[in-house]
């Protein structure tokens, strides 16, 4: 059985698109704030990525990193992120091709308002059928790591 077709007769696809570091530049501003908070040096921006946090164990405990992340995310961090320059045009092409787009993110449900406001301000919320966030209570920093 064939699935739904787009306007031009091709198969219509449902596409889930992550927000942070896919649509939004996230790692670099996060790591800059981290470096400011804990007084650590960072490499050149081209070499920056989430992998750097694994090198911080001796300087910043996992508990301190969790507290920092929660405090940062509970502020306006997500509202200040930039999107990649080609993002709006690519999303528009996908929608014009008849595909259904869904934004998915590990951001907590309690951050829905700031996330959807940010998407609207960036002019891309209207491209998605829905925004899916992580359910409430899905993170507990007291749980042991490596589960």
Q: Is the per-residue pLDDT at 6 higher than 80? A: no
The per-residue pLDDT for 20 is 95
Per-residue pLDDT at 49: 87
- For residue 54, CA distances in Å to 19, 57, 61, 77, 78 come to 22, 6, 11, 21, 22
CA distance 12 to 95: 10
In tens, the pLDDT along 54-81 reads: 888 788 998 999 999 999 998 999 999 9
Q: What is the pLDDT of residues 84-120, one digit of tens each?
A: 999 999 999 999 999 999 999 999 898 999 999 999 9
Q: Which residues contact 55 (CB under 8 A, 6 or more apart)?
A: none
Q: Where are the domains of the chain?
A: 1-24+83-147, 27-80
Q: Crossing angle for the helix pair 27-38 and 62-74, nearest 10 degrees? A: 120
Q: What integer pLDDT is reported at residue 4 of this predicted model?
A: 65
CA distance 107 to 115: 8
Q: Are 97 and 6 in contact (CB under 8 A)?
A: yes
**What mean pLDDT is reported for the chain?**
88
CATH code given to domain 1-24+83-147? 3.40.50.1000
């Amino acid at each position: 059985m064939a699935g739904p077709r787009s306007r031009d007769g091709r198969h219509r696809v449902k596409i889930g698109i992550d927000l942070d570091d896919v649509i939004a530049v996230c790692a670099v501003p996060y790591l800059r704030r981290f470096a400011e908070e804990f007084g650590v040096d960072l490499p050149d921006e081209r070499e920056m990525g989430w992998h750097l946090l694994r090198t911080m164990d001796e300087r910043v405990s996992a508990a301190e990193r969790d507290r920092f992340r929660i405090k940062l995310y509970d502020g306006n961090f997500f509202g200040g992120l930039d999107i990649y320059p080609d993002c709006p045009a690519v999303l528009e092409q996908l929608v014009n091709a008849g595909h259904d787009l869904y934004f998915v993110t590990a951001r907590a449900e309690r951050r829905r308002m700031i996330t959807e406001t940010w998407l609207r301000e960036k002019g891309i919320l209207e491209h998605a059928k829905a925004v899916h966030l992580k359910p409430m209570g899905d993170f507990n920093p007291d749980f042991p790591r490596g589960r």
